[in-house]
Structure 1
Amino acid sequence: MRTRGKQPDVPAPDSPWSEIAPGLWMGGHEFRGLSGQLESAVVNRQFDLVQTLLRLPGHGPDHGVEHQVWPIPDGPLDGKQLAGVIRLAEAACEALDGGRTVLVRCFHGYNRSGLVVAHALMRRGRTAESAIRLIRSRRSSWALHNDLFVDYLRAGLPTARLLEELTD
């Protein structure tokens, strides 16, 4: 499994966030700017709802912007963590249905945010494979490079959650 912590060759994205589907954005906390240098991705009021899977101080959002935080590792998740991912995807879908914009973010905006965004897309009718392809085409070919997260999506997060809870 390739993850940020184990693969120093994973490049930072070229943009702070990317629109995956209308109103549904995926991003991170740092990106490579036009100068080639790493820059902080700071959210102010660009989105109506920000979902954060890795919280770093000083990255926003502004006071008054709805902010849901559910820290999870970029690795194996237990049943409780998977349940939180499912809840975030449900909340993202509800916000989108209400005409709101949503940013789901993690460190680079590849794996953890990809898991939530893919599940939201699947709740809206896409297959796992279609959701993964769309995310990779809109965000980066590095998106969802965590093979375990892809396996979770292919099995279905509710199924993966039940299986994880059986082993807890």
Structure 2
Amino acid sequence: MLEDPSIERLPPPLRPRASLVLPGGAIPYIHTSIWMGGAHTLQGETIHPAAISASWLVDCAGEMPGPYRAAAAAHLPCVFADLEARFLPSRHILPVVDRLAEAVINPGAAPPAVYIMCSHGMNRSGLVTGLLLRRLGFGADEAIARIRAARRGALSNDSFVDLIRRA
């Protein structure tokens, strides 16, 4: 069968990708790598389900494909909207951040990596990553700088940046 050359081919489906925000061992008491990314992005390293089998996966948009959720050692849904509005982190965001912080500083049970993911790996994953970095002792400016260095264009939501600064 001949194909119509005037019809554009659809790109292959995107695989989730993430960028390293904090390498494991970068600070003495944390051996877990912290990654942030998106289910539908071209930015970052491609993630394969088998590679996250011992890691924790935080899904801030509810868009991570089923094989990734099933492969992770722990799947933590933490879905919320990317809105440019002042609000306090909801009752389900802060407990997830607290649980992550406790896990990564636990020397005997820390996962090798935490993947904090949303749709495109910019704002929702940036907020949760920023709040986690603050819980781990980073100052607001350093947390925001690390996120923006890892993911160009991240944290464009000023409300989320304010939340990280106030954490």
Structure 2-normalised TM-score? 0.70
Instruction: Pick from 95, 104, 115 the counterpart of residue 103 of structure 1.
Output: 115
Counterpart position of 2:40 = 30
Q: How many residues get paired?
A: 134
Q: Select between 89-98 and 53-62 the one with higher mean Cα deviation.
A: 53-62
The whole-number CA distance in structure 2 between the counterparts of 1:120 and 1:153 is 9
Q: Runs in 1 of length 4+ with deviation above 6 angstroms? A: none
Counterpart position of 1:36 = none
The whole-number CA distance in structure 2 between the counterparts of 1:57 and 1:133 is 26
> Aligned with 2:121: secondary structure?
coil
The whole-number CA distance in structure 2 between the counterparts of 1:58 and 1:132 is 28
Aligned-residue Cα RMSD (Å) equals 2.4
Counterpart position of 1:72 = 80
Amino acid paired to 2:82: D
Structure 2 runs not aligned, ≥5 long: 1-15, 24-32
Instruction: Pick from 34, 53, 56 the counterpart of residue 49 of structure 1.
Output: 56
Q: Deviations over 1:118-154 (max 9, x none)?
A: 11111111111110001101122x1111011011112
Check if 1:137 corresponds to 2:142. Answer: no
With over 3 angstroms needed to count, the CA separation of the structure-2 counterparts of 1:105 and 1:44, relative to structure 1, is: same
Instruction: Pick from 160, 163, 166 the counterpart of residue 149 of structure 1.
Output: 160
1:87 Cα shift? 1.5
Structure 1 runs not aligned, ≥5 long: 1-14, 34-40, 157-168
